[in-house]
Structure 1
């Protein structure tokens, strides 16, 4: 079943679920050429990724990690889209860990997906909770591009994620954080004025066999 409404990664439902979302992806087909992106440094404080000296720096809590599998297609323009989409995923995890939209999230996300996630960050903050563990993202692939937008599909493995009390760091997931949750995502990215590919729409299918 495909979900297009906001979910919650708390003890009430998927306890171990790291991430959620729901803004609707594109089902259009196209073969337009992808425009590459110019990369600039972000203001976040941690060390950048090893492969790209101009990568944004992310400030994760010590018990939180985004494991984004590299996607090298050999096509410079497609790789530019996948690079920024990978940064967007890390920015999402970072923001869940910090309970607010970080500078990286501001750069790599746009409406309607932006507002959907920001509301969820606020819910975690209101409940005094945040995510911890590792979110794994793999099988990332550019499917199409049309009029400055790109469609990317990928898999998310939430099995190593859980929810903690933001103050104490104690695991508060209903199942202790052991749920094996795998999702197939479709995300639409748009190219901003500064050349960044930002996620504008996102939808997912839970338990899709493609990600096994």
Structure 2
């Protein structure tokens, strides 16, 4: 994908360290192109907005997730009519938002990241987030998620598959706040994801593993 750094193949940092990422210099609170203000270290909550659409509330106490203005996820497909599938898709949405929050909001901790991911998926998410910080980048714009499907597996697990369209998401320099909107759209801005989820003791459908294919034909 052109708009986001490639997932790091390996890292010497521990998951615990990655989950407590904070910005160096606190410079992510600058303005993007066109005067669009992006939330950063020390930013007030009034500068943030929730992912759209907001998943249904099931009464479980969850860590709050807030994304900066200018960062938005659009999940297509709506409700399936199956309560179990809808709950799985809702937690998948929250997991995606937790990763985006860790990338775009500078904070001492990002509790939602480990709330919605475990095992290999938690490690890969933490490495992915760290890649942005090491590259000195964040992002703004809208990311579209579509063709989302849930397939029930054995042992109470399920597979969640979906396509991602990042043609309207753009890299932002963490130090200067400058957004690069010059990148032309390409097939690399589309990807297919196959994730495995399982319900934990708290009732959360945690993502355990993730595989992805950039430029997948079924998503173009």
Unaligned runs of at least 5 residues, structure 1: 1-13, 23-44
Unaligned runs of at least 5 residues, structure 2: 10-44
Paired residues for 1:1-212 under 5 Å: 14-17=1-4, 50=54, 52-53=56-57, 57-98=64-105, 102-172=110-180, 176-180=182-186, 181-212=189-220
SS where residue 112 of structure 1 aligns? helix
Residue 18 to residue 155, structure 1, CA distance change in 2 (3 Å): farther
Aligned residues between the structures: 175
SS where residue 84 of structure 2 aligns? helix
Runs of 4+ in 1 over 3 A off after TM superposition: 17-22, 45-51, 53-57
Higher RCO (CA < 8 A, seq sep 6+):
1
Q: Give 1:135 deviation, angstroms.
A: 1.4
Q: Give 1:207 deviation, angstroms.
A: 2.3
- Write out per-residue CA displacement over residues 93-134 of structure 1, whole angstroms, 9 at most, x where no aligned residue: 222213676222221111201112212322322332212212
RMSD: 2.8
Counterpart CA distance in 1 for 2:217 and 2:175 is 37
Scaled by the length of structure 2, the TM-score of the pair is 0.68
Scaled by the length of structure 1, the TM-score of the pair is 0.70
* Higher fraction of helix: 2
Counterpart CA distance in 2 for 1:21 and 1:75 is 36
